[in-house]
Amino acid sequence: MKNVALVGAGYWGKNLARVLGELGRLRVICDTNEAVAGPIAEKNGAVLVDELNAVLEDPEVKAVVVATPAITHFEIASNILAAGKDAYVEKPLALDDRDARRLCALAKQHDRILMVGHLLQYHPGYLKLRELVDEGRLGRLQYIYSHRLNFGKIRTEENILWSFAPHDISMILGLSGSMPSHVDASGHCYLHGQNPDITTTHLEFENGLKAHIFVSWLHPYKEQKLVVVGDGGMAVFDDTRPLEEKLVLYPHSVMWKDGQPEPNRGDATPVPLENIEPLKNEMEHFLDCIESREAPRTDGEEGARVLSVLNSAQLAIDARSATSDVPAKSAPQAHPGATIHELAEVDDGVTIGAGTRIWHFAHVLGNTQIGTDCVLGQGVMAGPNVVIGNNVKIQNNVAIYKGVTLEDGVFCGPSCVFTNVLTPRAEVERKDEFLPTRVGRSATIGANSTIVCGNEIGHHAMIGAGAVVTKPVPPHALVVGNPAKQMGWVSESGERLGDDLVCPRTGERYEVDSAGQLQLKSKS
């Protein structure tokens, strides 16, 4: 039964068209490039249209597969779900955490299947590896590293982190069964000044597991390797090897003698794998979910978790993008569209977006980035090397030190402080010990509160006045006191939620997921 449409028949879409055609399910392809998409549609027995509405209004189309540029995913997927059709969206699900959650909520509202294209979750090598982990064959996981390297297609519309790393993040989150408590990353630009070609991402989990992801499209040879180390064994998933060598189990372990660790080596054992194409396996899973109405392995919630890690990594890269010393102040630079009081000081090397207002006695130090429509009140000090998003409101006498990143919509109450070193001494130089601090989108930080460096504040969290934050704060959490402790949850609108987790202002309904994170469920 041909009841699936494909939107986008480009670089990856043509592969989806082939598989859906082989499965006899492809009904229509939507693409504006007739020269490219026409032959693909004809080859796979599909009709070609150039308007999404033609797909949405077709009663025979029950599900839509989206393989368009990532920036379009949210809008297209929203229209598909609102039209009452199931949706498969290639990675990433969206470019913003809030948009990803909205898609999840929309899917629930319309009782639709929402699946994300994290292909390696359907690779027989990864599926068998996850089975080994779940069975305890590797013992307690200690360390995971993933390398995805190549000298191949180099993109300009997205950086290497967003192009390569989603697959690795998805696999690592699947193996760990939880979200990381800390994310850090660094990137390097060689071909494009603002577009990293190489990134390294570090993840830390509450149970002690650590992971790192190295991705590059400037590597002399192809490498796609996932190494999993446990206290009872190790495994290597190498997708560049022949099928019979893709997954190898190493029963190595560490023995302790006289208080000293000694390696206990075992013979490497290749693990037999089923010979199936991952993309076909993925599409069959999607089609099965359409029929059974069961949640996909990589559903919208899984996609949103991957996106959250990606955004945290990108923020860390952005915070490190300006690392040079503060330049000497010279003649004032123009910042078109911004309002800067004549008694404010703005050093060289500062970027300020249109609509931003900086009031008297404020000082913005070099290499600081400030977005659009922000407000920096009297006596604010920001920088150097600080990143401030759009629509951020910073009240009087706030100090924002090097390494702090404020995402869009953050509110900083009067006299709140961000530290950047854990054990400061006036007579001891510790600039090399600065720790980055990230504040998630639309979070609120109360007056006179202190954010100890190295702790991430989740999106929409609320820090009570005078609180001292000494550990990471989950998204939507309400924390108060010294040290700050969680007292409940708050909605996107900043309202404290009761036991029913319903926002009293908007009627939005929330739920706590299996990872203990608050998620938007639906609107009342």
205-219, 228-242, 254-268, 441-455: which range is least confident on average?
Answer: 254-268
What are the tens digits of pLDDT across the range 226-277?
Answer: 999 998 889 999 999 999 999 999 887 666 666 666 776 767 899 999 999 9
Superfamily name and number for 4-117+280-294: NAD(P)-binding Rossmann-like Domain (3.40.50.720)
Query: Would you state the structure tokens that stand for residue 88, as one six-digit string?
Result: 């498969």
Mean pLDDT (the chain, rounded): 89
Residue pair 369/386 in contact (Cβ under 8 Å)? The answer is yes
Residue pair 403/434 in contact (Cβ under 8 Å)? The answer is yes
H helices of 91-191, where? Answer: 97-109, 124-134, 160-176
> What percentage of the chain exceeds 70 in pLDDT?
92
Residue pair 122/278 in contact (Cβ under 8 Å)? The answer is yes
Indicate whether 80 pLDDT > 80. yes
* 393-394 and 369-370 strand pairing: unpaired
> Residue 487, Cα to own-chain centre: how many angstroms?
27
Query: Of 423, 485, 422, 425, which is closest to residue 454 (Cα–Cα)?
Result: 422
**Burial readout 389-411 (b: 16 or more C-beta within 10 A, e: otherwise):** bbbbbbbbbbbbbbbbbbbbbbb
Number of helices (H) and strands (E), helices first, in the chain?
A: 9, 39
Torsion sign (Cα): 298, 299, 304, 307: positive
- More confident site: 331 or 395: 395
- Numbered ranges of CATH 3.40.50.720 in the chain: 4-117+280-294
Residue whose structure tokens are 């990353």: 185
Residue 104 is predicted with a pLDDT of: 93
Residue 331 is predicted with a pLDDT of: 33
Cβ neighbors of 68 (< 8 A, separation 6 or more) are 7, 8, 10, 13, 76, 90
Query: Would you state the structure tokens that stand for residue 38, as one six-digit string?
Result: 């026409």
- More confident site: 256 or 178: 178
Residue 146 is predicted with a pLDDT of: 95
Residue 166 is given by DSSP the state: H
Integer Cα distance of 439 and 425 in angstroms: 25
Query: Would you state the structure tokens that stand for residue 507, as one six-digit string?
Result: 């009627």
Residue pair 115/81 in contact (Cβ under 8 Å)? The answer is no
Residue 36 is predicted with a pLDDT of: 93
Residue pair 476/510 in contact (Cβ under 8 Å)? The answer is yes
User: What is the reported pTM?
Assistant: 0.61
Query: Would you state the structure tokens that stand for residue 229, as one six-digit string?
Result: 């180390």
Indicate whether 330 pLDDT > 60. no
- When the candidates are 3.40.50.300, 2.90.10.10, 3.30.360.10, 3.40.50.720, the CATH number that belongs to 121-273+310-319 is 3.30.360.10
What are the tens digits of pLDDT across the range 386-436?
Answer: 999 999 999 999 999 988 999 999 999 999 999 888 888 877 777 777 888
Three-state SS for 504-523 is: CCCCEEEEECCCCCEEEEEE
- Numbered ranges of CATH 3.30.360.10 in the chain: 121-273+310-319
**Burial readout 416-430 (b: 16 or more C-beta within 10 A, e: otherwise):** bbbbbbeeeeeeeee
Residue pair 119/164 in contact (Cβ under 8 Å)? The answer is no
- The Cα-based distances of 333 to 191, 349, 352, 374, 388 in angstroms read 28, 9, 10, 18, 19
Integer Cα distance of 12 and 167 in angstroms: 15
Query: Would you state the structure tokens that stand for residue 430, as one six-digit string?
Result: 């510790």
- The Cα-based distances of 248 to 106, 255, 275 in angstroms read 41, 22, 16
Indicate whether 189 pLDDT > 90. no
Stretch 484-498: mean pLDDT, rounded?
A: 93
Backbone angles phi, psi at 442, to 5 degrees: 60, 20
Indicate whether 332 pLDDT > 60. no
